[in-house]
């Protein structure tokens, strides 16, 4: 009987030792795989050949940490790529007017220039310098808005009046652009809580964008849709696509730049940033050659 018990105990010890050895080897393999994954960023999950409740719980935590690390690395790469693209776009938008300024300065050094030519070149240089100044100021403003550094004071704002004022101020520009205007501002709309200066800038930027890139006609509507007041700017834009509409609020979106050699600038990015800072929403869509930007103001 004692012999049987001893044999059984020895077998149990052998099983436990074997299980312990297997577990230790499994943990070592898991640790080795974890080091490999951290080095080459693979996504395979860690596992043990001979699992136990405690070890499985530990591996679950380690797998979570690995997934978080991989997500952080992917996010970092996306941000780094976006930053590089932004730097490239900023460099392009700065280099273009600077190159022009330097070119005309060299022309001014030429001998035998008439006073008229000098005046013409100086006017071009001044125009390029002002473009550069506006770009830098706009980029700075966008950074302040997105960083929450631009103070906004909410009050009740009459959108109909604010939009009418902007349309009246842009009347000459609209005439020069040759756009047929269609304006529909619904009467009796309730005011919205917003910063009046931000509202003015949003409408101004939307008008500027339409005048710069629109074709043939511009339709401006202000109407109520449920609990939301909608301001919509629509113009023909045959060169755009539905994919472009999904990206126009991004900084330095280059679809238009590739087609026309001009940057879409930061105006629409500022529209989105200001609207969202005030608790409102913006969206853009392209349907059958017509590009529309809507601001949905919470009434």
Task: Dump the DSSP string for 153-176.
Answer: --EEE-HHHHHHHHHHHTHHHHHH
| pLDDT at residue 259, rounded to an integer | 39
90-146 fold: Helix Hairpins (1.10.287)
- 129 and 97 in contact (C-beta within 8 Å)? yes
Q: Residue 90 in contact with residue 252, Cβ under 8 Å?
A: yes
Tell me the chain's radius of gyration from C-alpha atoms. Answer: 32
The residues spanned by each domain of the chain are 90-146, 156-298
Mean pLDDT of 94-119: 84
Read off the pLDDT of each residue in 136-141 and give the average, rounded to a whole number. Answer: 77
pLDDT band at 37 (very low <50, low <70, confident <90, very high): low
Does residue 239 contact residue 257 with C-beta atoms inside 8 Å?
no
**Higher per-residue pLDDT: 261 or 132:** 132
Give the pair of three-digit tokens for residue 236.
């023909």
Distances, alpha carbon 271 to alpha carbons 47, 92, 145, in Å: 50, 22, 10
Check: CB of residue 190 under 8 Å from CB of residue 299: yes
Q: Which residue in this structure is represented by tokens 């550094």?
A: 149
Average pLDDT over residues 150-156: 87
Q: In this predicted model, which residue has the larger pLDDT, 7 or 67?
A: 67
Helix and strand numbers (H, E) in the chain are 9, 7
Q: Does the CA dihedral 257-262-266-268 come out positive or negative?
A: negative
Least confident of 53-57, 164-168, 189-193, 196-200: 53-57
Q: Is the pLDDT of residue 170 over 80?
A: yes
Q: Considering the chain, what percentage of its residues have pLDDT values greater than 90? A: 20
Task: Round to whole Å and give the CA distance between 212 and 206.
Answer: 10
Mean pLDDT along residues 85-97: 72
User: What pLDDT score was predicted for residue 15?
Assistant: 53
CATH architecture of the domain with range 156-298: 2-Layer Sandwich (3.30)
Cβ atoms 268, 249 nearer than 8 A: yes
Reported confidence tier of residue 32, pLDDT bands at 50, 70, 90: low
Q: CB neighbours of 273 closer than 8 A, spacing ≥ 6?
A: 142, 145, 146
pLDDT band at 260 (very low <50, low <70, confident <90, very high): very low
Q: CA-based angle 78:72:68, to the nearest 5?
A: 145
Report residue 222's pLDDT band, with 50, 70 and 90 as the boundaries: very high
274 class by beta-carbon count within 10 Å (0-12 exposed, 13-18 middle, 19+ buried): buried
**pLDDT band (50, 70, 90) for residue 263:** very low
Average pLDDT over the chain, rounded to an integer: 78
pLDDT above 70 covers a percentage of the chain that reads: 72
Q: 296 and 283 in contact (C-beta within 8 Å)?
A: yes
Contact 180, 217 (CB under 8 A): yes
Q: Which two tokens stand for residue 148?
A: 């929450």
In this prediction, residue 184 carries a pLDDT of 94
Q: Supply the pLDDT for residue 210.
A: 85
Which runs of E-coded beta strand occur in the chain? 155-157, 180-185, 192-194, 215-225, 228-236, 281-287, 290-298
State the residue for tokens 């005439």.
Answer: 175
Backbone torsion region of residue 188, taken as left when φ is above 0, otherwise alpha when ψ lies between -120 and 50, otherwise beta: left
pLDDT at residue 256, rounded to an integer: 46
The residue whose two tokens read 């043990």 is 48
CB under 8 Å to 128, separation ≥6 — which residues? 97, 98, 100, 101, 104
198/150 Cα distance (integer angstroms) = 10
Write down the pLDDT at residue 14.
56
Q: Contact 23/50 with Cβ under 8 angstroms?
A: yes
Most confident of 42-46, 55-59, 91-95, 196-200: 196-200
């Amino acid at each position: 009987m004692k012999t049987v018990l001893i044999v059984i105990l020895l077998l149990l010890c052998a099983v436990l030792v074997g299980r312990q050895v297997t577990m230790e080897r499994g943990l070592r393999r898991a640790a080795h795989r974890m080091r490999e994954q951290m080095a080459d960023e693979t996504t395979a999950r860690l596992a043990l050949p001979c699992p136990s409740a405690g070890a499985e719980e530990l591996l679950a935590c380690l797998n979570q940490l690995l997934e978080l690390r991989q997500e952080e690395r992917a996010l970092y790469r996306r941000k780094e790529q976006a930053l590089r693209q932004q730097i490239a776009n900023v460099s392009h938008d700065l280099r273009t007017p600077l190159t022009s300024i330097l070119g005309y300065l060299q022309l001014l050094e030429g001998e035998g220039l008439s006073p008229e030519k000098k005046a013409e070149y100086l006017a071009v240089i001044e125009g390029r310098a002002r473009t550069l100044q506006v770009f830098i100021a706009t980029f700075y403003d966008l950074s302040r808005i997105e960083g929450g550094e631009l103070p906004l004071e909410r009050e009740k704002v009459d959108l109909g009046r604010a939009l009418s004022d902007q349309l009246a101020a842009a009347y000459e520009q609209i005439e020069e652009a040759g756009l047929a205007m269609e304006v529909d501002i619904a009467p009796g709309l309730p005011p919205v809580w917003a910063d009046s200066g931000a509202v003015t800038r949003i409408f101004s930027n939307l008008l500027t964008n339409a005048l710069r890139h629109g074709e043939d006609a511009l339709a401006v509507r202000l109407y109520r849709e449920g609990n939301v007041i909608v301001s919509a700017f629509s113009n023909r834009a045959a060169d755009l696509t539905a994919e472009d509409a999904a990206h126009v609020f991004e900084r330095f979106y280059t679809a238009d730049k590739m087609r026309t050699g001009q940057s879409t600038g930061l105006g629409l990015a500022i529209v989105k940033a200001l609207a969202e800072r005030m608790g409102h929403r913006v969206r853009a869509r392209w349907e059958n050659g017509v590009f529309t930007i809507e601001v949905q103001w919470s009434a």
